[in-house]
């Protein structure tokens, strides 16, 4: 794992933006896995302002609420449209999200995995982290080799996400999410986490034991996981001085191109 600690949430978003921009510039046909939530908002704003060419880029989102249609304002379809897709020249036919209204979720989930394979796999998967350590909507006890499927949200996640729906009772119970196995197959995983409320989940994921009780800890098995944090989200890490030293002393060929 590469742990990058930045002074503020805005700086962490800028670092993540540089990593994704560099991928789009060096591989204009890249396949990028995208995430939702409050955390990537600064990142998407920066990416949108960058004016890069997205015409050859393919995207796959991590998850969607079951029973929530694309036109629903709280759907992840609507979120992505509002916060990224309408600001860049991505081709609609290259944009993929699970369909929350699918009449046959099992077939739909298999087909989603097939589409990722047919696209050549995901070059970079962006991730957030839930306060319980979930990635995508892989809640604690998710199989570490799971594929895209239906999951049931925990009470904690429904509480955390109630702010988007107005009230907790309106938050769906079920979702479709890429599995942890799906995420582990991406060529790079980029987890962005900011804020004090993520510090415990981040500590478990980075320095804790590999356990399905903290699904993000599965990234310890990933061949190239980058964990991009602000100071608050990094505040519970024991070895943060070491991570800082490593980052500051990267050999030139490993440096992330500046903006
Ligand atoms: C949701 C999403 C996750 C996201 C998490 C954290 O549950 N399914 O992909 O990482 O929330 O969200 P936030 O960034 O709003 O804290």
- Using one digit for the tens of pLDDT, what is the confidence trace for 63-110? 999 999 999 999 999 999 999 999 999 999 999 999 999 999 999 999
219 contacts 225 by C-beta, under 8 angstroms? yes
Separation of 252 CA from ligand 1 center, angstroms? 33
Tell me: the pLDDT tens digits for 214-224? 999 999 999 99
Q: Among candidates 187, 86, 208, 201, which has minimal Cα distance to 133?
A: 201
132 is catalytic: yes
Q: Hey, whose CA ends up nearest to atom 6 of ligand 1?
A: 130
Separation of 63 CA from ligand 1 center, angstroms? 10
10 is catalytic: no
- Give percent helix, percent strand, percent coil of the chain, each to the nearest 5: 40, 15, 40
Half-sphere exposure for 188 (CA within 13 Å, toward CB): 18
Which of 36, 61, 197 best tests ligand 1's pocket when mutated (most atoms within 8 Å of CB)? 36
189 contacts 219 by C-beta, under 8 angstroms? yes
Report the C-alpha dihedral over residues 165, 112, 147, 192, rounded to 10 degrees: -50
pLDDT at position 259 is: 79
Separation of 163 CA from ligand 1 center, angstroms? 12
Q: Among candidates 197, 192, 157, which has minimal Cα distance to 177?
A: 157
pTM score, two decimals? 0.96
Q: What sections of 173-236 are H helices per DSSP?
A: 180-184, 199-207, 231-234
Tell me: the pLDDT tens digits for 169-204? 999 999 999 999 999 999 999 999 999 999 999 999
Which of 129, 140, 196 best tests ligand 1's pocket when mutated (most atoms within 8 Å of CB)? 129
In DSSP terms, 32 is beta-bridged to 59, 124
Three-state DSSP at 40 gives coil
pLDDT at position 148 is: 98
Report the chain's C-alpha Rg in angstroms.
17
Q: Is the pLDDT of residue 49 over 90?
A: yes
Tokens describing residue 257: 């191109």
Residue ranges around ligand 1 (CB below 6 Å): 35-39, 62-63, 128-130, 136-137, 157, 161
pLDDT at position 257 is: 84
Separation of 192 CA from ligand 1 center, angstroms? 10
Q: Is the pLDDT of residue 61 over 90?
A: yes
- What is the spatial distance between Cα 82 and Cα 132, in angstroms, rounded to a whole number? 27
């Amino acid at each position: 794992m590469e742990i990058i600690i930045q002074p503020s949430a805005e700086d962490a978003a800028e670092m993540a933006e540089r990593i994704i921009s560099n991928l789009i510039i060096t591989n204009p046909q890249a396949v990028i896995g995208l995430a939702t939530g409050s955390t990537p908002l600064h990142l998407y704003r920066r990416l949108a302002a960058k004016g890069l060419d997205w015409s050859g880029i393919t995207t796959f989102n991590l998850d969607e609420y079951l029973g929530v249609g694309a036109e629903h304002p709280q759907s992840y379809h609507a979120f992505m449209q509002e916060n990224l897709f309408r600001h860049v020249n991505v081709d609609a036919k290259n944009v993929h999200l699970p369909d929350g209204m699918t009449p046959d979720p099992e077939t739909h989930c298999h087909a989603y995995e097939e589409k990722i394979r047919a696209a050549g796999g995901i070059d970079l998967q962006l991730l957030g982290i839930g306060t319980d350590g979930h990635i995508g909507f892989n809640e604690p006890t998710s199989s570490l080799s799971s594929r895209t499927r239906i999951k049931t949200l925990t009470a904690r996640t429904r509480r955390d996400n109630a702010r988007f729906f107005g009230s907790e009772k309106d938050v769906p119970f079920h979702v479709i999410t890429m599995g942890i196995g799906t995420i582990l197959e991406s060529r790079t995983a980029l987890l962005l986490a900011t804020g004090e409320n993520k510090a415990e989940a981040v500590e478990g994921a980075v320095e804790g034991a590999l356990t399905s009780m903290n699904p993000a800890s599965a990234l310890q098995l990933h061949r190239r996981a980058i964990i991009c944090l602000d100071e608050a989200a990094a505040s519970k890490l024991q070895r943060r001085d070491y991570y800082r030293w490593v980052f500051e002393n990267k050999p030139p060929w490993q440096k992330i191109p500046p903006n």
